Homo-oligomer: A and B are copies of this chain.
Amino acid sequence: MSLVEPGMRRDLSALFEPDGVAIVGASDDPVKWGNWLARGALRGERRRPVYLVNRRGGEVMGRPAFRSLAELPAPPALAVLAVPPAALEQAVDDAILAGVRALVVITAGEADGDAGGARDRALAARAREAGVVLLGPNCLGVFDARAELELVSNDLPHGPIGLISQSGNLALEIGMIAADAGLGFSRFVSVGNQADVQVAELIGNLADHPATELIAIYVEDFRDGRAFAAAAEAATRAGKPVVLMAIEHTEATARAVASHTGALASDGAAIDAACRAAGIERVRAPQELIDVADGLLRAGPMRGRRVGVLADGGGHAGIATSLLQRAGLQLPRLGDALAAELRAGLAPAAAVSNPIDLAGAGEQDIRTFDRTARALLRSGEVDAVLMTGYFGGYSEYAETLGRGEASAAEALADASHVSGRPLVVQTMHPQTPASGTLRRRGVPVYRSIERAVDVCARLAARGERGPDGVPPLPSAAAPVRVERPIEEGGYALARSLLAAAGVAFADARTVGGPDDAVEAARAVGYPVVLKALGLLHKSDAGGVALGLRDDAAVRAAVADMEERLAPPAFSVEWMAPVSDGVELLIGARWDARFGPIALVGLGGLFTEILHDIAVALAPMNEVGALALLGSLRSAPLLAGARGRPPLDAPAAAAALAALSRVAAEHPEVAAIEVNPLLVLRAGALGLDARLELADRDEAGGAAS
């Protein structure tokens, strides 16, 4: 098990701050990578020598080209390889021989078609043996703003974001959106196939990089998922938020990414669990990525969920209020003293009880904005202010307001900093000088109110909880290794494994026929449940009979199931008082990249219909399990909804924690679950269970 080994932390300075660069495969053809990279490299020529290498020699970009790395006067720290697939292995050997310390391999396909990653593994091994860092293959470049290293196909904006991406076009798009927000990149790394340098190692590098204030990631394959999560958690704790855009596995996304980088996409639950553990902000698209990064870079976490809305029109006030409430934020009615203070500076038509509508006061006196915001922010009655509407456009609207608007922008930013509470701005004029002033002074400014509200919700959530932490996996071999054959569905085995770990189950006896069944039923006590064993989905197949009240009912049920299903055996079980409690599902699945993932949700009939599921990296302890339970939408059911007594949530959490430990100790178990787990006033009782072994060649199959 290498899952919990911390990500490698090598010296990557040759990659980001090389003392010289060679472009192997440099070209004059303007639609070739060898051309774009050479152009990019030459932009940094005042910082370091740039060598253009082309096996045909002659001139490239108006300067003599070297035929090979061996011809160079001095070995540069970094070589970029943009050569045909057939020439790649030789080029790597040449570079190592020439003495380079880092390799950026642009070359994508393999000389002899898709060889299942064998070439990548061989290249990585060769590089590591020589102590050389290798980025790629199938990499689209590397960029360091301060070092003026621009080994990329396009201009990228400079700024505080360290970007790791498995797609060049998405990096480009993210860069364009970032520039609009006055943001840009400190470093950018395209990771390609991650043969050697993986995303976890790069996160560590960016966490240590002073010019990087936030780490943004687009990734299709997490490789060592636990190392990824651990690196992200460390960065988060060090004050560098991590924002992640990831592709999760479905049949269709697998078609998308497999052809792209040969990636193995992780299950959405595994990615969510990693984000929970590491405090990562998950996003779904480039614009959202930058909008969230903007908020995290420019505003700190909120101390609570109370927002004051400051609008210069009733429509904007109403829209913002609606969206904030839908996002779970609160708009407290302001206290009388504060309302009176605000009222004093405003016209009678203004609304002052939250939302605040300046109702035209801005045109009369632009400083109304910062006076009102300051009063709100320092009042202690809200945890953030969302300003929405027209601000930033007043200078255009009336020349006389120009200077005032700039001062108001400065004063608004100051009011936020002094109060220690975020100010988030939405305006229909996001690209005017006043909006620029707000941004430069640390206020996030959005054109879209949806995004301003989403950022407020994330700031509030960050104030409420940080990362859970990444649990280590048991390093020793499992005490008992589960081997095939097990019966279909694995009910008996799941029960015995989980019971040994401390999960309570309803009293049950395994029997072969009607007489044994009746005897077992009497021992368990009527009414009983009869289950046909050896079926994957007992309920769906009609293999469960509930509420059998006497011997005759048991015999009839056995006869019926024998005829229909011919099961190898039956289980006779105590009929638990289901209507006295709530049914949960607890389970765990083994993700190829992240290892064991625990999940809990509303169980029984509701599991698949309502999708109220929470996930976390396994194993987890009882405290973590209880917090996870509490994050369910249906958590109020456990607390005793509608006059019912509270149920034993700690017992449910203990069962979940025990199950998560079993999962972590048994990599050979692909999935294990108890559904339902009946949570009662005292205790929690497993009523059914299921277990699935991994395919033999996948057993223990986490990232290697």
- A166 CA / B322 CA spacing, docked (Å): 16
Which candidate, A247-255, A296-304, A648-656, is the interface stretch facing chain B? A247-255
- Tell me how many chains of this kind the complex includes: 2
Q: Which B residues are CB-close (under 8 A) to A450?
A: 284-285, 287-288
A540 proximal to B (CB < 8 A): yes
Q: Which of A42-50, A352-360, A471-479 forms contacts with chain B?
A: A352-360
With contacts A31-B363, A578-B579, A642-B539 taken as known, whether A165 is within 8 angstroms of B315 at the C-beta atoms is: yes
Whether the pair B540, A260 counts as a contact (CB closer than 8 A) is no
Q: How far is the CB of A52 from chain B (nearest CB, A)?
A: 21
Q: Which of A350, A537, A605 has the most CB of B within 10 A?
A: A605
Q: Does A333 contact B (CB under 8 A)?
A: yes
In the bound complex, do residue B610 and residue A252 qualify as a contact, i.e. CB atoms below 8 Å apart?
no
Are A319 and B578 within 8 A (Cβ)?
no
In the bound complex, residues from chain B placing their C-beta under 8 Å from that of A348 are 109, 113
Tell me if A315 and B169 are in contact (CB < 8 A). yes
Complex partner residue of A257 from B245, B255, B318, B605, CB under 8 angstroms: B318
State A580–B195 Cα separation when bound (angstroms).
57
Known contacts A357-B260, A450-B284; decide if A253 and B318 are in contact (CB<8 Å): yes
Across the interface, do B287 and A447 meet the contact criterion of CB distance under 8 Å? yes
Q: Is A660 located at the chain interface by the 8 A CB criterion? A: no
Give chain A interface residues in 303-341, CB to chain B under 8 Å.
Answer: 309, 312-319, 321-323, 325-326, 331, 333
Residue of B with least CB distance to A317: B256
- Chain B nearest CB, measured from A541 CB (Å): 7
A637 at the interface (CB under 8 A from B): yes
Question: Which residues on B sit within 8 Å (CB–CB) of A173?
Answer: 316, 428
| Shortest Cβ distance from residue A88 to the other chain B in the assembled complex, whole angstroms | 15
Interface: A390 (CB within 8 A): yes
Residues of chain A from 228 to 285 with CB closer than 8 A to chain B in the complex? 245, 247-248, 250-253, 255-257, 259-261, 265, 284-285
- For chain A, residues 163 to 177, give those with C-beta under 8 angstroms from any C-beta of chain B: 165-170, 172-173, 176
Complex Cα distance, B180 from A428, in Å, reads 12
Chain B residues whose C-beta falls within 8 Å of the C-beta of A288 in the assembled complex: 450
Known pairs A450-B287, A612-B610; A252 contacts B331 (CB<8 A): yes
Tell me whether A380 is interfacial, beta carbon within 8 Å: no
A69 within 8 A of B: no
Contact: B314 with A167, CB < 8 Å? yes
Residues of chain B lying within 8 A (CB to CB) of residue A351: 255-256, 259-260
A625 to B539, CA, bound (A): 30
A643 at the interface (CB under 8 A from B): yes
Q: Is A609 an interface residue (CB 8 A)?
A: yes
Q: Which residues of B contact A31 (CB under 8 A)?
A: 363-364, 398
Instruction: Tell me how far the C-beta of A576 lies from the nearest C-beta in chain B, rounded to whole angstroms.
Output: 12
Q: CA A169 – CA B322 in complex, angstroms?
A: 17
Most chain B Cβ neighbours within 10 Å, of A259, A314, A326, A537: A314
A449 within 8 A of B: yes
A349 within 8 A of B: yes
Whether the Cβ atoms of A319 and B284 lie closer than 8 Å is yes
Binary B-proximity of A367-409 (CB < 8 A = 1, otherwise 0): 0000000000000000000000110000000100000000000
B interface footprint on A603-618 (CB within 8 Å = 1, 0 otherwise): 0011011101000000
CB-CB under 8 A from A606, the residues of chain B are: 634, 637
Q: Which of B255, B312, B428 meets A333, CB within 8 Å?
A: B255
Residues on B with C-beta less than 8 A from A285 are 319, 323, 448-450
- Cα A252 to Cα B330 in complex, Å, equals 9
Cα–Cα distance between A256 and B315 once the two chains are bound (Å): 8
Is A56 an interface position by the 8 A CB rule?
no
Q: A355 to chain B: which residues have CB within 8 Å?
A: 252, 255-256
With an 8 A cutoff between CB atoms, is A286 at the interface?
A: yes
Q: How close is A600's CB to chain B, nearest CB, in angstroms?
A: 15
Chain B nearest Cβ from A154, distance in angstroms: 8
Contact partners of A261 in chain B: CB under 8 A: 314
Residues of B with C-beta under 8 A to A287: 447-450
Establish whether residues B170 and A349, one from each chain, have CB atoms under 8 Å apart when the complex forms: no
C-alpha spacing A643/B287, complex, angstroms:
44
Residue of B nearest to A313 (CB): B169
**Complex alpha-carbon distance, A512 and B350, angstroms:** 57
Q: Report the minimal beta-carbon distance from A673 to chain B, rounded to whole angstroms.
A: 14
Note all chain B residues with C-beta closer than 8 A to A257: 314, 318
CA distance A641 to B540 in the complex (A): 8
Contact of A315 among B260, B315, B578 (CB under 8 A): B260
**Which residues of chain B come closer than 8 Å to A222, judged between CB atoms?**
none
Cβ-defined partner of A245 (8 Å) among B255, B284, B319: B319
Question: Contact: B539 with A643, CB < 8 Å?
Answer: yes
A248 surroundings in chain B (CB, below 8 A): 322
Bound complex: CA A316 to CA B641 (Å): 45
- Kindly provide the distance from the CB of A314 to the nearest chain B CB, expressed in whole angstroms: 3
Closest chain-B Cβ to A29's Cβ sits at a distance in Å of 11
Which one, B109, B325, B428, contacts A172 given CB within 8 A? B428
A-B contacts, 15 of them at CB < 8 A, read: A31-B364, A169-B389, A172-B390, A220-B318, A248-B322, A252-B333, A252-B355, A253-B318, A255-B321, A255-B333, A259-B314, A260-B351, A539-B642, A605-B642, A609-B637
10 A-B pairs with the lowest CB-CB distances in the bound complex, closest first: A167-B315, A260-B314, A259-B351, A169-B313, A170-B315, A540-B643, A252-B331, A247-B318, A173-B428, A256-B318
B-binding residues in A (CB < 8 A): 30-31, 108-109, 113, 165-170, 172-173, 176, 218, 220, 245, 247-248, 250-253, 255-257, 259-261, 265, 284-288, 309, 312-319, 321-323, 325-326, 331, 333, 348-351, 353-355, 357, 359, 363-364, 389-390, 398, 428, 447-450, 537, 539-542, 578-579, 605-606, 608-610, 612, 633-634, 636-637, 641-644
Given contacts A167-B316, A252-B325, A540-B642, 8 further A-B contacts (CB under 8 A): A31-B364, A31-B398, A168-B315, A247-B321, A248-B322, A252-B333, A256-B355, A284-B326
